[in-house]
Amino acid sequence: MTQAMFDTVLVANRGEIAVRVIRTLRSLGVRSVAVFSDADADARHVREADTAVRIGPAPAAQSYLSAERLLDAAARTGARAVHPGYGFLAENAGFARACADAGLVFVGPPADAISLMGDKIRAKETVRAAGVPVVPGSSGSGLSDAELADAAREIGMPVLLKPSAGGGGKGMRLVREEERLAEEIAAARREARASFGDDTLLVERWIDRPRHIEIQVLADGHGGVVHLGERECSLQRRHQKVVEEAPSVLLDAATRAGMGEAAVQAARSCGYRGAGTVEFIVPGGDPSSYYFMEMNTRLQVEHPVTELVTGLDLVEWQLRVAAGEPLDFGQDDVRLTGHAIEARVCAEDPARGFLPSGGTVLRLREPHGDGVRTDSGLSEGTEVGSLYDPMLSKVIAYGPDRATALRRLRGALARTVTLGVQTNAGFLRRLLAHPAVVAGELDTGLVERVVDDLVTTDVPDEVYEAAAAVRLHALRPAGGGWTDPFSVPSGWRLGGTPRPVGFPLRVTEPVEYAPRGSATVTDDAVSVTLDGVRHTFHRAADWLGRDGDAWHVRDHDPVAASLSGAGRAGADSLTAPMPGTVTVVKVAVGDEVAAGQSLLVVEAMKMEHVISAPHAGRVAELDVRPGSTVAMDQVLAVVAPAEEDR
């Protein structure tokens, strides 16, 4: 390190990326400053930083998105630089300029580069002029709905609608039928406006079964630009990456060099500095025909796989470049060794259509060592709410070859325990064992095609057996000596044959389950032997977990359920599919509605879910208004059937 390195850096983010940046700052001997909203007062990134500053209430707009509060925190703590992580303000040119105006170094590219590459329309025009191939699509900005529809028809269906101002899959819509254009354009604009404050859209040709491959670039302020190879990011759901790896099995050395040079030219075309990613869409049948999609002017979520195969710490190099240092290596010095794969563990419930979940982390076990790395912002007691991004952690595995990395990652996900919050860890483990994934035959639609084979709502008998064993264990009297037989849950009866003891339980549907095996119960685990097979689960309160999967097994009291709001839930009731906030209410009590008509919108973790009428009828009850916070399964409205349907 040179003496130009910063002595104090403010990390303008939260969760796993804040913890990740703080780790590198600690290794460099740089003092770290965390920021936190009221919801994150006891978060892991706050505890791990050298100091921390409260920046406001829980809503991001009043805390993590407040440039004024972030800059004030930097001034109060003597920070000389601000690292934005990713998300929030990482790709906000206005924030980068505000940092400069305040005499702070923004650890990222120049504001002009962020602005240029953040506008997908201008970005395509700029890189096209630099000789980089781009996806055929609309030209010009500020197109009206009609102009977008005309451009889509000219390109030919199917097409992809994309917000010009942002990324991460937000607001993207794949449209295959021309008659759906108007509806999808309106939906894309609404989501783009909510996510980025800008509803400008562009439309591009959709390439069926494409692969999503991106190139990591690194540029200094002295004219040096290199690429660090590619990452395969084709395993996606709803245009969101779920698994990434480096390198890609699709590319040969010549194609890798060509794509890498195109990425370098894209970076040079906008005067880039720091770590960035150039994303390409690649026809699976012809990898030499690659097209520029966009440039992410920040650190990517999936940067660890590049770090593992190159041996470089990208956060360290972001800091060194921001401090004015030149790259001390050239393109010929970059070597890709081995293989790395990352899986994103998110607060979502695969059995409920991957809707966001929430709750308190009651039991946490995260894998490390033996070629496994976990980047996480979690700790036991963490409250996972609906205000922020659903990604909780990333599990990354490295090996000398792809098969080893896959095997290690599947094993690591099986050892991942996050009880109290439903996650996708078990789903990811099964996805990584799918024959197409094992063979490297990937495309961006693969996950959606195989998802039904990887998700089940069935609850194994051994789960109920374990839950019943825990309840039976809790009912047994403690201590020695004489025991009243009526106090033992054995089914004993005076002068009669013992009856099986059943427990009313519920995961999805209520069941009455009587134990039929042997069990060993401890404070944090339960093992049951059923039909000669032993099953071991982690446990915490009413949660059981194994192999990355988790079940919330609750006691079921039919009387209490009938008296609660849940008792109203039925064919006429509309319930919240996830904890979140009601953002749109389109009806009032007494309104007549058609079957399938959109009535409300619930938003959580940057995801919108439309609540539609289950049948034609009249709105008999409406329990929420815009801004209402709702719990999962809370009754939102009741639609009484039309007279002819009674």
CA–CA distance, 150 with 152 (Å, rounded to integer): 5
Question: Among the CATH numbers 3.40.50.80, 3.30.310.40, 3.30.470.20, 3.40.50.970, which is that of 210-454?
Answer: 3.30.470.20
CA–CA distance, 232 with 341 (Å, rounded to integer): 9
CA–CA distance, 173 with 164 (Å, rounded to integer): 13
- The single-letter code of the amino acid at 137 is G
Q: Can you give the pLDDT at residue 566?
A: 46
**Strand 201-205, strand 372-376: pairing:** unpaired
Cis omega (within 30 of 0) for bond into 247: yes
Neighbours of 462 (CB within 10 A): 21
Q: What is the 8-class DSSP label of residue 179?
A: G
CA–CA distance, 349 with 136 (Å, rounded to integer): 36
Q: Can you give the pLDDT at residue 346?
A: 97
CATH topology assigned to domain 566-645: OB fold (Dihydrolipoamide Acetyltransferase, E2P) (2.40.50)
The CATH class given to the 136-205 domain equals alpha beta
CA–CA distance, 14 with 16 (Å, rounded to integer): 7
Q: Can you give the pLDDT at residue 56?
A: 97
Q: DSSP for 302-355, please give it.
A: THHHHHHHH---HHHHHHHHHTTPPPS--GGG----SEEEEEEEESEEGGGTTE
Report whether CATH 3.40.190.10 matches the domain 8-107: no
Max Cα–Cα distance, the chain, nearest Å: 93
CA–CA distance, 314 with 316 (Å, rounded to integer): 5
Burial 96-117 (b: 16+ CB within 10 A, else e): bbbbeeeebbbbbbbbebbbbb
CA–CA distance, 428 with 454 (Å, rounded to integer): 9
**Residue 620 token pair:** 């008999």
Q: Can you give the pLDDT at residue 483?
A: 59
Residues 381/325, Cβ–Cβ less than 8 Å = no
CA–CA distance, 165 with 102 (Å, rounded to integer): 25
**Residue 605 token pair:** 């973790």
Residues 21/83, Cβ–Cβ less than 8 Å = yes
Q: Can you give the pLDDT at residue 502?
A: 79
Neighbours of 347 (CB within 10 A): 27
Residues 388/382, Cβ–Cβ less than 8 Å = no
**Residue 639 token pair:** 């639609």
Residues 33/351, Cβ–Cβ less than 8 Å = no
Rounded (10°) CA dihedral 446, 443, 390, 277? 180
Q: Can you give the pLDDT at residue 208?
A: 82
Matching residue, tokens 């609404």: 190
Neighbours of 238 (CB within 10 A): 13
Per residue in 271-322, pLDDT (tens digit) is: 999 999 999 999 888 888 999 999 999 999 999 999 999 999 999 999 999 9
Matching fold, domains 136-205 and 210-454: no
Q: Can you give the pLDDT at residue 514?
A: 87
CA–CA distance, 349 with 357 (Å, rounded to integer): 6
The dihedrals phi and psi of 32, each to the nearest 5 degrees, come to -110, 140
Residues 378/435, Cβ–Cβ less than 8 Å = no
**Strand 81-83, strand 8-11: pairing:** parallel
Residues 596/612, Cβ–Cβ less than 8 Å = yes
CA–CA distance, 296 with 166 (Å, rounded to integer): 9
**How far lies 448's CA from each of 315, 342, 357, 451, 453, in Å?**
33, 19, 20, 5, 10
Each domain of the chain, given as residue ranges in start order, spans 8-107, 136-205, 210-454, 461-476+501-556, 566-645
Q: Can you give the pLDDT at residue 1?
A: 43
The burial of 503, by beta-carbon neighbours within 10 Å (0-12 exposed, 13-18 middle, 19 or more buried), is given as buried
C-alpha closest to that of 23 among 37, 9, 39: 9
Q: DSSP for 239-301, please give it.
A: TEEEEEEES-SS--HHHHHHHHHHHHHHHHHTT--EEEEEEEEEETT-TT--EEEEEE-S--T
Inter-residue long-range contacts of 138-142, CB under 8 Å, 24+ positions, other chains counted: 138/202, 138/203, 138/204, 141/200, 141/202, 142/200
Report the chain's terminal Cα–Cα distance, integer Å. Answer: 77
**How far lies 202's CA from each of 87, 136, 608, in Å?**
22, 11, 21
Residues 578/602, Cβ–Cβ less than 8 Å = yes
Q: How far from chain centre, in Å, is Cα 564?
A: 33
- The single-letter code of the amino acid at 161 is L
Q: 247: Cβ–Cβ under 8 A, 6 or more apart, which residues?
A: 229, 230, 231, 232, 256, 309, 336, 339
Per residue in 193-206, pLDDT (tens digit) is: 988 889 999 998 88
The dihedrals phi and psi of 439, each to the nearest 5 degrees, come to -80, -10
CA–CA distance, 529 with 534 (Å, rounded to integer): 4
- The low-confidence residues of the chain, meaning pLDDT below 70, are 1-3, 168, 477-501, 559-571, 606, 643-646
The dihedrals phi and psi of 189, each to the nearest 5 degrees, come to -65, -45
Q: Can you give the pLDDT at residue 451?
A: 96
Matching residue, tokens 């998300």: 87
**Residue 577 token pair:** 């599919």
Q: Can you give the pLDDT at residue 479?
A: 61
Q: Can you give the pLDDT at residue 338?
A: 98
Q: Can you give the pLDDT at residue 561?
A: 58
Neighbours of 514 (CB within 10 A): 13
Q: How far from chain centre, in Å, is Cα 547?
A: 20
Q: How far from chain centre, in Å, is Cα 518?
A: 39
Residues 31/9, Cβ–Cβ less than 8 Å = yes
